[in-house]
Amino acid sequence: MKKNRVLFAGLFAASVLVSGFTVPLLRPEPTKKAVAAAATNLTMYWIDTEGGAATLIITPAGESVLIDTGNPGGRDSERIYQVARQVAGLKQIDHLLTTHWHIDHFGGAAELAAKMPIVEVIDKGIPANLSEDKNFAQNIQPYKDMTVKKRSLIKPNGTIQLQKLAKGLPNLSIRFVGVDKQFVAVAKNSKATDGCESATDKAPDTSDNANSTVLVMDYGPFRFFDGGDLTWNIEKNLVCPTNLVGTVDVYQVNHHGLDQSNNPVLVKSLAPTVSIMNNGTRKGCGPETVKTLRNTPSIQAAYQLHKNIRQDSEYNTQEGYIANLEENCKANFVKLTVAPDGKKYTVSIPATKHEKTFTTKTVH
């Protein structure tokens, strides 16, 4: 008996060490009232998966949409679970969207499904194999096997089926601009883009990054863009010769800020007010990307999940806009809250007490 107890305590300590919690383990369950209060805003979380992706959206109806699930191995799924369950008070993930078939985007899905129910999984259809990942068939098996209520396929111009919001709130939609290099216009008037002729191409990308799902979320006047890991030449197709997307308020920096992505013609055409980069300590936050963000006049604040601690550390945003400064980080997240009327939004890093409010664009 005693021996068992020691073993159990050891396992417990090990699991705490491995998962790197951001919130105390024994935090009390959120009360119903607190959850209801939180659900009157539209809230988003960029969860730290060390250079993978995991973006959580909670609608004013309390419905949840998770875009990507980081890497396998326990760490990322636990971080997502902690934010979803303990911080946001969710009991389930209503919709999980996987943007493309790289393991830093789908790797935590099956582990998360074992921790909390996932109702609907939406993706672009699982391929039999992937040229850039020899172990794809093996890597994707848990995702294929996980228990979910419903599986849906992404279609260009399709939407995520969301519950109606309370009367008086603006319209909310999450639309797919496209997938597998096929795009549709979601902008009200697709305008000709300046700078298409001078935009240069890079070597063609034959990986699944180029096939990433691109989505736009509109909440009243507020607009958010997530292009997964879309790469340079295909990014240009989104805005050249005409801008299919329009402008946005918040741009999730494509592909963790890697320089194979974030074509200046895309970033300048989207003209975001805020950029949020899900980079790692050594992944993403590329020099060209950082320069592009600095040279985009519309950007008032550029957030990063991590400080770039490579040799080229001059390529970073200001420290106050970085969620995690140290290599052995506490997995701090970036949070965004959109006001009920959609006209203002606040970006915060709760762990550092950073908070900044922005005015939503009136014309997209």
* Interacting span for Zn ion (CB under 5 A) from 102-110, 112-120, 177-185, 304-312: 102-110
Phi/psi at 34 (nearest 5 deg)?
-65, -40
Name which of 60 and 108 has its Cβ closer to Zn ion.
108
Q: 356: how many CB neighbours lie within 10 A of its CB?
A: 15
Residue 76 binding Zn ion, by CB under 5 A: no
**Residue 70 CB, nearest approach to Zn ion (Å):** 9
**Residue 12 CB, nearest approach to Zn ion (Å):** 32
Residues 122, 98: Cα–Cα separation, whole Å:
6
Residue 50 binding Zn ion, by CB under 5 A: no
Name which of 172 and 277 has its Cβ closer to Zn ion.
277
| CA distances in angstroms from 290 to 71, 204, 209, 239, listed in the order given | 24, 22, 20, 20
Number of residues this chain uses to bind Zn ion (CB under 5 A): 2
Residue 205 binding Zn ion, by CB under 5 A: no
Name which of 169 and 234 has its Cβ closer to Zn ion.
234
Q: Tokens 């971080």 — which residue?
A: 79
* Interacting span for Zn ion (CB under 5 A) from 75-83, 101-109, 154-162, 163-171: 101-109
Structure tokens at 271: 């003209």
* Interacting span for Zn ion (CB under 5 A) from 28-36, 100-108, 138-146, 307-315: 100-108
Residue 229 binding Zn ion, by CB under 5 A: yes
Name which of 132 and 355 has its Cβ closer to Zn ion.
132
Name which of 94 and 111 has its Cβ closer to Zn ion.
111
* Interacting span for Zn ion (CB under 5 A) from 222-230, 234-242, 284-292, 329-337: 222-230
Name which of 96 and 169 has its Cβ closer to Zn ion.
96
Long-range contacts of 204-209 (CB under 8 A, 24+ apart): 204/233, 205/231, 205/232, 205/233, 205/234, 205/260, 206/131, 206/132, 207/102, 207/131, 207/132, 207/231, 208/100, 208/101, 208/102, 208/130, 208/132, 209/100, 209/102, 209/255, 209/260, 209/261
Distance of CA 363 to the CA centre of its chain: 24
Name which of 104 and 249 has its Cβ closer to Zn ion.
104
Q: Which of 24, 36, 26, 33 is nearest to 62 (CA)?
A: 36
* Interacting span for Zn ion (CB under 5 A) from 9-17, 33-41, 83-91, 227-235: 227-235
**Residue 142 CB, nearest approach to Zn ion (Å):** 18
Q: Are 85 and 116 contacting, i.e. CB atoms less than 8 angstroms apart?
A: yes
**Residue 232 CB, nearest approach to Zn ion (Å):** 15
Name which of 205 and 229 has its Cβ closer to Zn ion.
229
* Interacting span for Zn ion (CB under 5 A) from 98-106, 197-205, 210-218, 270-278: 98-106
* Rounded (to 5) percent helix, strand, coil in the chain: 25, 25, 50
**Residue 272 CB, nearest approach to Zn ion (Å):** 19
Sheet hosting strand 334-338, strand order edge to edge: 150-153, 118-123, 93-97, 64-67, 55-58, 42-46, 334-338, 344-349, 354-359
**Residue 52 CB, nearest approach to Zn ion (Å):** 6
Residue 104 binding Zn ion, by CB under 5 A: yes
**Contact positions vs Zn ion (CB under 5 A):** 104, 229
